[in-house]
């Protein structure tokens, strides 16, 4: 798998552009950040065709870029977990009302649940429902590639915040231990913010989950 990484918007949200290979033109996008101009420019300059966007959770800093992306690529399909679906369409739910720049979007094309498999752009991702940061937070696992996109569930030496509506610290730690810590130690974790890490590193060093 070819992974391109952009850091988008004031909240420095990680956006991942996945392709089957360097030569492939179809791609799958994970999270669009707060501002997608750089993302659209990247897609156009590389002549890429985004077939789908998967939103790891519905907070404002991961979804606002959808508007610009959909304007430029109207056929792109949007996926989000069913419990966060209302965050796309509701400015109060996605917290954008708090920022002073209210944002709402048309609904997602596909609503996900735990155990679903996303197959787009010749890429296959298993959906792991990991509530706690939001109720519909998800991680996206590729067993063949040994990687997992963890959104704001898990960070290098930290975890997602749980003090916003829908957050639950006990639930988040349970999600991480049951859904992520059970993956192979060498699995690379790509978070919604900050640097990549591995399951082994977090099990050994993360103060929120290590013994």
Under a CB-based contact definition with an 8 Å cutoff, are residues 207 and 166 in contact? no
Per-residue pLDDT of the chain (211 residues; tens, 9 = 90+): 999 999 998 889 999 999 999 999 999 999 998 889 999 999 999 999 999 999 999 988 888 899 999 999 999 999 999 999 998 887 667 666 666 667 777 899 999 999 999 999 999 999 999 999 999 999 999 999 999 999 999 999 999 999 988 899 999 999 999 999 999 999 999 999 999 999 999 999 999 997 6
At 16, give phi and psi (nearest 5°).
-115, 135
Sequence spans of domains, the chain: 2-205
> Is the domain 2-205 a CATH 3.40.50.300 member?
no
User: Rounded CA gap, 86 and 105, in Å?
Assistant: 10
User: Rounded CA gap, 66 and 163, in Å?
Assistant: 25
Under a CB-based contact definition with an 8 Å cutoff, are residues 151 and 138 in contact? yes
Q: Which of 45, 47, 44 is nearest to 24 (CA)?
A: 47
Under a CB-based contact definition with an 8 Å cutoff, are residues 159 and 173 in contact? yes
Neighbouring CB atoms inside 10 A of 109's CB total: 12
């Amino acid at each position: 798998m070819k992974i391109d990484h952009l850091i988008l918007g004031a909240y420095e949200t990680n956006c991942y552009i996945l392709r089957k290979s360097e030569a492939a033109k179809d791609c799958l996008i994970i999270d669009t950040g707060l501002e997608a101009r750089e993302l659209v420019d990247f897609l156009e300059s590389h002549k890429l065709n985004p077939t789908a966007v998967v939103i790891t959770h519905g907070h404002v800093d991961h979804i606002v870029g959808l508007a610009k992306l959909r304007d430029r690529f109207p056929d792109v399909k949007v996926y989000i977990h069913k419990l966060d679906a209302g965050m796309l369409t509701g400015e109060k739910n996605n917290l954008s009302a708090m920022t002073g720049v209210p944002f709402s979007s048309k609904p997602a094309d596909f609503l996900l649940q735990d155990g679903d498999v996303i197959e787009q752009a010749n890429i296959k991702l298993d959906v792991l429902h990991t509530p706690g940061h939001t109720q519909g937070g998800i991680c996206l696992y590729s067993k063949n590639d040994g990687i997992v996109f963890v959104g704001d569930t898990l960070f290098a030496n930290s975890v997602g915040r749980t003090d916003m509506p829908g957050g639950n610290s006990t639930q988040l730690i349970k999600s991480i231990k049951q859904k992520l810590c059970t993956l192979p130690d060498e699995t690379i974790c790509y978070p919604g913010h900050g640097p990549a890490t591995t399951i082994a590193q977090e099990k050994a060093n993360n103060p929120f989950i290590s013994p």
